C-alpha cells in the first residue's frame, strides 16, 4: 500500500487552466518540463476542509489495523488447529474467490444506493469483516472455517469496490484522485502495523486466538465512525443550500429594487415631458 502511495506521485493532470499557467510562472514551467505537477497540484490539502471526507479519512485507517491479520497468519493458525487436514490452503483461496464476487456484486448494488449513503455499505462490510475475524478462533470444524472465510471475502470485496464512488461523492470529480491518494497513504500504516502485533501476541500467548479476537475490534470501531458521515454531509449540504437560497433572494431583491428605481425614473421623465 505504501508503494502505491509513492506511485501516486507519477500521476499529473491532463491539462492546466490559463489561470494556473499565469500564476505558476517559471516554477510551473520547470515542473512541466520534468513532466511533474507543481507541489500545490500534488498535495491538495484543501480537501480536508470537507468535514465528511476528513472523518472518512480517519475512520477507514482506524478500521484496518486488523485487516491483514487473517491474510498473514491464517495459514499458521490452520496448521496448528487442523493438523490432520489436507489442502488447508483452500481457506485463502475461498477469501480470494468471494472477494472477486463481492466486488462485482456490491459494485452493482452501490449503483442503486444514492449519494453518500453508499458509506453504509462500507459500514456493513466492516461489521462482517470484524465479526468473521473474531469467529476464526471459534471454528472447531474445518467446514465452518471455510464458511467464515467465504463470508469475509465477500464483504472484503464490498469494502474495496465502493471506495472510489464514496470518494467521488464526498469531494467531487475534480479532487477524487487526491482523496483516494491520501487515503491509501493513511491506510498503509495500520495495514502494515497490524500483522506484526498479531505475531507478537502469538509468541507471548502461545496461540493466535487473542490476535484474531483483537483484529476484529478495529473494523467495528471504524464502522461506527463512518456512520456519522451521511449525517455530516447532509448537514453541510443544508447549510450550503441555505446560504445559496439567501444569496438568490438578495439578488432577486436587488433586481426588483433596480427595476423599481428604473421604472420610477422613466415615469418621472415622462411626467416632465408632459409638463
% of residues, the chain, pLDDT over 90: 41
Q: Would you state the pLDDT for residue 47? A: 86
Q: Cell 479476537 appears where?
A: 213
Give which of 214, 229, 225 is closest to 67, Cα–Cα.
Answer: 214
User: Does residue 265 carry a pLDDT above 70?
Assistant: no
Q: Would you mind telling me the total number of residues written for the chain in this entry?
A: 275
Q: What architecture (CATH level 2) is domain 72-240?
A: Up-down Bundle (1.20)
226-261 pLDDT, tens digit each? 999 989 888 888 877 777 766 666 666 666 666 656
Classify residue 170 by its DSSP letter. H
SS3 annotation, 127-180: HHHHHHHHHHHHCCCHHHHHHHHHHHHHHHHHHHHCHHHHHHHHHCCCCHHHHH
Give dist(CA 9, CA 27) in Å, integer: 18
120-148 pLDDT, tens digit each? 999 999 999 999 999 999 988 888 999 99
82-122 pLDDT, tens digit each? 887 777 888 889 999 999 999 999 999 999 988 889 999 99
SS3 annotation, 54-102: HHHHHHHHHHCCCCCHHHHHHHHHHHHHCCCCCCCCHHHHHHHHHHHHH
Amino acid at each position: 500500500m505504501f508503494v502505491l502511495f509513492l506511485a501516486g506521485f507519477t500521476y499529473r493532470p491532463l491539462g492546466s487552466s490559463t489561470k494556473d499557467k499565469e500564476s505558476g510562472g517559471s516554477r510551473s514551467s520547470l515542473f512541466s518540463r520534468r513532466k511533474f505537477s507543481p507541489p500545490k497540484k500534488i498535495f491538495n490539502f484543501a480537501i480536508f476542509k470537507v468535514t465528511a471526507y476528513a472523518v472518512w479519512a480517519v475512520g477507514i485507517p482506524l478500521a484496518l489495523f486488523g485487516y491483514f491479520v487473517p491474510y498473514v497468519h491464517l495459514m499458521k493458525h490452520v496448521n496448528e488447529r487442523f493438523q490432520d487436514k489436507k489442502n488447508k490452503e483452500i481457506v485463502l483461496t475461498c477469501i480470494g474467490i468471494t472477494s472477486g464476487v463481492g466486488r462485482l456484486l456490491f459494485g452493482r448494488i452501490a449503483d442503486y444506493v444514492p449519494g453518500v449513503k453508499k458509506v453504509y455499505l462500507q459500514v456493513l462490510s466492516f461489521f462482517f469483516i470484524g465479526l468473521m475475524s473474531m469467529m476464526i478462533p471459534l471454528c472447531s470444524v474445518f467446514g465452518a472455517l471455510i464458511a467464515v472465510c467465504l463470508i469475509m471475502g465477500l464483504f472484503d470485496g464490498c469494502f474495496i469496490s465502493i471506495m472510489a464512488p464514496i470518494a467521488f461523492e464526498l469531494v467531487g470529480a475534480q479532487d477524487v484522485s487526491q482523496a483516494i491518494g491520501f487515503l491509501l497513504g493513511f491506510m498503509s500504516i495500520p495495514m502494515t502495523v497490524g500483522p506484526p502485533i498479531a505475531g507478537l501476541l502469538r509468541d507471548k500467548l502461545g496461540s493466535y486466538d487473542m490476535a484474531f479476537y483483537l483484529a476484529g475490534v478495529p473494523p467495528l470501531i471504524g464502522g461506527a465512525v463512518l456512520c456519522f458521515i451521511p449525517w455530516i454531509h447532509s448537514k453541510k449540504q443544508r447549510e450550503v443550500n441555505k446560504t445559496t437560497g439567501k444569496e438568490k433572494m438578495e439578488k432577486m431583491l436587488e433586481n426588483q429594487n433596480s427595476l423599481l428605481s428604473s421604472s420610477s425614473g422613466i415615469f418621472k421623465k415622462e411626467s416632465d415631458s408632459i409638463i
